[in-house]
């Protein structure tokens, strides 16, 4: 989720007397979560809190986007999450169903107004590499998404309606001998890792995708279990589940409230988050603010550089598009490496120099649950610029036409009535891994950012990992590859 950068650090901020519940898991009455409410059958787990004298602060009503105001009962929470993208919202969900902690979510905007809403929504393993640092997290997160979809079905609901969930399978398409060799090796590699994978020769590929341009040197790696979802449907589903706890005094959303500063206590720990309108006290603070995470951490006043950078992307959406039928999600083989291309000629060399611009465009194509054709995708470093660039949109369209002849016969300008463009800033980390874990020297501040284009696919695994850290539990997968140490100077 796109967040506003925090402003000044408040080292001498005034603290009201406040004692919150501690994050202990021993010593008090237990709460058993009714996890079926969230479409995910989890074991009923009991967690307890060592409760101190809690200062309850009555506040003005907190407005949910698209909903009537709901009055927040207090400004004292066990966990304060900065960022209402898919990472922040699934973090809130995990804390609510895995404990009896109270949770606040803070954002300058509203969900789906940033990177989450601009994404294509695929849960694909086709471009993941077995044995890489991110592999276990990706596999775990995919399993959690599948469990969520299945539990929705068991409740008599349709995950297509609730999440935009479809098991479409994915095709990684190659068109040169070198690319086909890479795809054959990838199929073998992912099979050995336990995934269903098949290499398709040109004749098999035509049968799977008749609209695709296929010649004798074409082929594809086919992954039948890959899925996709709709970010807007999914966020709405998660928000509805989270809001169930608002009436119990355990959840509140503070949207349209940019973070202004962090308030520290006498021991140097972060005691509260100061927004434009409220002071939110919390025993644990989780920063999940996408590419703005680095500036927020800098405003804590500590010498820590979090090298998360904005990587801008365009996604072309053609609504109710029936001129092209896709049976699967597709991406070209070059997507794996985001192959660099020359910038479109309409971009001057001075513009490129000013932004140190490196533009990459690789064909991706999916049909979402509403019948919209989504074509991507571009990647470039232009700072925090989110302006739509028509030259890039045209390049995406032309690149898609290289794979789908039917699109070549259409003029994009004639589709203006059904055309939309999503522009977002992916939180890029130089080593390709998100940062997940506590901030060195601040035991109650955690980061969960830097997922770049994998926020949706990695969200549930990330939420589980951070929740385990905060609750002091042994995690299901190793979190050490995502620690800040050695990666943030």
pTM: 0.83
Tokens of 248: 């119990």
Tokens of 67: 């909903």
Which residues of 319-353 form beta strands (DSSP E)?
329-332
Q: Which residues pair with 105 in a beta bridge?
A: 81, 253
Coil, helix or strand at residue 182: helix
CA-to-CA distance for 293 and 273, rounded, in angstroms? 14
Among 111, 97, 318, which residue's Cα sits nearest to residue 234?
111
In sequence order, what DSSP letters do the residues of 266-277 get, joined into one string? TTS-EEEEEESS
CA distances from 403 to 175, 330, 375 (A): 10, 10, 12
Q: Where in the chain is the domain with CATH 3.30.9.10?
A: 309-428
Q: What are the residue ranges in the chain where pLDDT is below 70? A: 1-74, 300-302, 338-357
The CATH superfamily of 309-428 is: D-Amino Acid Oxidase, subunit A, domain 2 (3.30.9.10)
Coil, helix or strand at residue 283: strand
Nearest 5°: the CA angle 302, 304, 307 is: 145
Query: What's the pLDDT score for residue 485?
Result: 83
Residues 80-120 have pLDDT tens digits of 999 999 999 999 999 999 999 999 999 999 998 888 989 88
Q: Where in the chain is the domain with CATH 3.50.50.60?
A: 31-116+231-308+432-482
Cis peptide bond upstream of 377, omega within 30: yes
Q: To which H or E segment does residue 377 belong? A: strand 373-379
Query: What's the pLDDT score for residue 318?
Result: 96
CATH top-level class for 31-116+231-308+432-482? Answer: alpha beta
Query: What's the pLDDT score for residue 266?
Result: 85
Among 225, 198, 203, 223, which residue's Cα sits nearest to residue 214?
203
Three-state SS across 418-477? CEEEEEEEEEECCCCCCEEEEECCEEEEEEEECCHHHHHHHHHHHHHHHHHHHHCCCCCC
What angle in degrees, to the nearest 10, is found between the helix axes of 86-98 and 231-243? 30
């Amino acid at each position: 989720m796109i967040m506003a950068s925090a402003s000044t650090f408040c080292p001498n901020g005034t603290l009201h007397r406040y004692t919150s519940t501690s994050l202990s898991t021993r010593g008090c009455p237990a709460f058993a979560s009714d996890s079926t409410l969230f479409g995910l059958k989890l074991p009923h787990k009991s967690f307890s809190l060592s409760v101190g004298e809690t200062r309850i602060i009555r506040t003005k009503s907190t407005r949910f986007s698209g909903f009537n105001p709901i009055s927040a009962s207090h400004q004292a929470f066990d966990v304060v999450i900065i960022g209402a993208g898919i990472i922040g919202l699934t973090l809130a969900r995990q804390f609510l169903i895995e404990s009896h902690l109270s949770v606040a979510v803070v954002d300058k905007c509203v969900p789906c107004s940033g990177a989450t809403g601009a994404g294509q929504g695929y849960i694909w393993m086709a471009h993941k590499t077995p044995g890489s640092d991110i592999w276990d997290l990706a596999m775990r997160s995919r399993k959690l998404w599948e469990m969520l979809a299945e539990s929705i079905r068991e409740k008599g609901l349709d995950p297509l309606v609730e999440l935009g969930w479809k098991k479409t399978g994915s095709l990684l398409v190659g068109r040169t001998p070198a690319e086909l060799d890479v795809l054959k090796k990838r199929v073998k590699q992912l099979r050995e890792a336990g995934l269903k994978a098949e290499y398709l020769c040109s004749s098999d590929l035509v049968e799977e995708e008749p609209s695709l341009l296929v010649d004798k040197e074409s082929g594809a790696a086919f992954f039948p279990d890959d899925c996709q979802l709709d970010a807007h449907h999914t966020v709405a589903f998660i928000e509805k589940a989270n809001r169930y706890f608002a009436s119990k005094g355990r959840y509140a959303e503070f949207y349209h409230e940019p973070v202004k500063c962090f308030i520290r206590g006498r021991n140097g720990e972060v005691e509260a988050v100061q927004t434009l309108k409220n002071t939110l006290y919390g025993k644990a603070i989780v920063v999940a603010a996408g590419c703005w995470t680095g500036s927020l951490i800098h405003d804590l006043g500590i010498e820590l550089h979090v090298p998360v950078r904005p990587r801008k992307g365009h996604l072309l959406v053609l609504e109710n598009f029936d001129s092209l039928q896709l049976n699967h999600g597709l991406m070209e083989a070059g997507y794996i490496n985001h192959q660099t291309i020359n910038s479109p000629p309409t971009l001057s060399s001075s513009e490129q120099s000013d932004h140190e611009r490196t533009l990459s465009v690789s064909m991706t194509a999916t049909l979402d649950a509403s019948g919209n054709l989504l074509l991507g995708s571009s990647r470039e470093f232009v700072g925090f610029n989110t302006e739509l660039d028509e030259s890039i949109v045209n390049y995406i369209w032309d690149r898609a036409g290289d794979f789908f002849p039917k699109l070549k016969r259409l003029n994009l300008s004639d589709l203006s009535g059904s055309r939309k463009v999503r522009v977002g800033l992916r939180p890029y980390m130089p080593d390709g891994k998100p940062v997940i874990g506590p901030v060195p020297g601040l035991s109650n501040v955690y980061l969960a950012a830097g997922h770049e284009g994998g926020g949706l696919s990695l969200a549930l695994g990330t939420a589980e990992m951070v929740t385990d850290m905060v609750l002091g539990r042994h995690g299901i997968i190793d979190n050490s590859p995502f620690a800040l140490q050695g990666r943030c100077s």
